Copies of this chain bind each other. A is one copy, B any other.
């Protein structure tokens, strides 16, 4: 944090406003007029900071993807038994998803209409495959059930984790990040019936 003095926008601060509107109205449902009202500046002022709507989208999904890929580079994701690495990655995914909530939310809603969206979808797929590899290794080591196909199980686990963006609100009372991560890990590995 270099300055905290004035309220003039940078691409970064404008992004945080825009992402909020995108997530409320949907990217396609958001006009530059909507953004300008939310930011409190005129449409043309927005173009002074960014090249247009799609640059805001590109910046947002990049930030989300960077956060997710960084997990795979962490020590606990690279060393140890596969099932332990998998549990670590699942927990960290929940944490990153919550700490970068608006950005990940936008990433997960991307449909592929524009070039930036297709690029985001491809990187998401790459991340999914990395986690699927981990699950496969855990199955090979006999630490997770073998009666559900790896690819299918990965998709369902991602579905559970990713769905958090649909309801988690940091400002609300209720489960905090730690509690959500604990619940996800329990359900993913032991299910509703428990150990």
Q: What residues of chain A have their CB less than 8 Å away from a CB belonging to chain B?
A: 24-26, 28-29, 109, 111, 113, 135, 138, 143-145, 147-149, 152-153, 155-164, 166-167, 175, 179-180, 183-184, 186-194
- B111 and A183 form a contact (CB under 8 A): no
- B152 and A158 form a contact (CB under 8 A): no
13 contacts between A and B (CB under 8 A): A25-B113, A29-B113, A145-B193, A145-B194, A147-B186, A148-B183, A148-B187, A152-B183, A155-B166, A156-B163, A159-B163, A188-B192, A190-B190
Give the CA-CA distance A179 to B89 in the complex, in Å.
Answer: 26
Return chain B residues, CB-CB under 8 Å to A184. 156
- B189 and A192 form a contact (CB under 8 A): yes
Return chain B residues, CB-CB under 8 Å to A113. 25-26, 29
- A159 and B162 form a contact (CB under 8 A): yes
- Contact A164/B153 with A190-B193, A191-B188, A193-B145 known, Cβ cut-off 8 Å: no
Return chain B residues, CB-CB under 8 Å to A167. 155
Give the CA-CA distance A111 to B106 in the complex, in Å.
Answer: 13
Return chain B residues, CB-CB under 8 Å to A187. 148, 153, 156-157, 188, 191
